[in-house]
Amino acid sequence: MIAHTVFDRSLLRAGETLNMKHILRRHTRDGFAIPAAETRPGAVSIRHAGSGQAYEMPLAWDAAGVAETEWSIPRDAQLGNYTVTLVAQSGSEVAPPVSEPAGAEAPEEAPRAMEEGRSLTSGRFRVEEFRVPLLKGVIQPPSQPLIDVGAAPLDLSVQYLSGGGVGLLPVKLRTEVSAKPIPAIEGFEDFIFGNGSVREGLVRRGSRRRSVKGGRRRTPVEAHGRGRGSGFIRRRARGGARSSARRRPAGDDRGIGVPGPQRRGSNRLRPHPSVECGLPGRHQTGRLGVSKDDLRLQAAVVDLSGEPVAGAPVRIDAFERRVISHRKRLVGGFYGYDHTVEIKRLATLAEGRTDAKGLMRCETRAPLSGEVLLVAESRDAAGRRTFAHRSVWVAGRNDWWFEVADHDRMDLIPSASATSRRNRRFFRCACRSGKPRP
């Protein structure tokens, strides 16, 4: 015979009521059949897996071979897994089931054991101590695009999961500002947009710059369960200028619970500049270094919908990036490196306006060889600025110095797999590291 128990829930708390439906069938040549009345179990036993404590209840089978039972879990019931077993008659000694992992199927020997007057395992459930969330919080940002704003109004809503608003509930609103990567724009897949400008100065490698943080404030919720707060978008940079890179503040609506665990709701806002300025990526040039005497520049300007902007002013500045490295001896005979990065403005390489395709092209001469940071700047009609930057390596007679690490290595790669004795064989030197190299 085969027994199976259907539960209304498989995870309950002490003091709740468990409803069960037991189904009993036996194998025949034609499939399944309803067992005879004299072979059906007379009781159901619920046994705790850890302590062996058992509870028994009688069964009343109908003509379809189905029995329903209801068990009120005692408030002092032990937590853990419980096994439901059908026994031959009420009050009989129930043999403990074979030790097996929770959720495993009943053993194949169970039908034969039932015929011998033992038991049939039909299901398992758990009794645990947990809390059910009662409320949900929603943060609704403005529907219009946020263009160069310092703060944004946020609509807060706290509602019961069963429906209806929660009134007069204190809510804590937290905001955090982080950089937002801009997805690829159709027609400008090889361009880098909106990654901001660079900052001049001397920075030691590994030291953290000041992070952009948000704010924290308490916002009351009105009687109908709704309120309004203000989310901080950008912080003032040095000199009073605002950061030009796209930022993505994340609002976190915390402290929602009645009572007990805190519930939270979150949403993300995306403030934009009115236009986006971009530079072509490194993979578009197809080469690591560019010529010092023939530096070809290109910049693109698009609007919020990704359409090219014609006649937009563009300026491209050059910055020098130098890496100063010091080698130090470590314990055990090893060596490590300390790097200091210096960024210094060189000159303005090009100025102009975009064409009908939103591009500005020019050819100029690089001011020096080595690593050069190109920073493109554009403005909209209201004078709001947007920046993009990228790094290029300008070939020259001077040696190049790359940042080194403790796990760097150098490989010699042949240009051809096989050559004859008379032909020359060329090798390419490749430096590999766990960090990307330009």
Domains of the chain are: 2-127 (2.60.40.1930), 135-182+207-270 (2.60.40.1940), 275-408 (2.60.40.10)
Phi, psi of 284 (to 5 degrees): -75, -35
Distance CA 323, CA 403 (A): 7
Instruction: Give the model's pLDDT for residue 239.
Output: 28
The closest of 211, 39, 13, 226 to 131, measured between CA atoms, is 13
Where is pLDDT greater, at 255 or 385? 385
Among 150-154, 215-219, 308-312, which range has the highest average pLDDT? 308-312
> pLDDT tens, 24-59?
999 898 889 999 988 899 999 999 998 999 999 999
| Averaged pLDDT score across all residues of the chain | 76
DSSP string, 112-142: HHHHTT-EEEEEEEEE-------EEEEEE--
Of 7-21, 144-158, 164-178, 260-274, the range with the lowest mean pLDDT is: 260-274
Instruction: Give the model's pLDDT for residue 249.
Output: 52
Instruction: Give the model's pLDDT for residue 232.
Output: 45
Confidence of residue 195 (pLDDT cuts 50, 70, 90): confident
Q: Is the pLDDT of residue 104 over 50?
A: no
- Biggest CA pair distance of the chain: 101
Q: Which two tokens stand for residue 157?
A: 């809503």
> pLDDT tens, 206-247?
655 544 455 555 555 554 555 555 544 443 333 233 334 444
- The whole-model pTM stands at 0.55
4, 155, 161, 166 from 224: Cα distances, Å: 48, 13, 15, 6
Where is pLDDT greater, at 307 or 427? 307
Residue 263, number of CB atoms within 10 A of its CB: 18
> pLDDT tens, 116-138?
456 899 999 999 998 777 788 88
> pLDDT tens, 239-273?
233 334 444 555 555 444 444 445 566 777 767 67
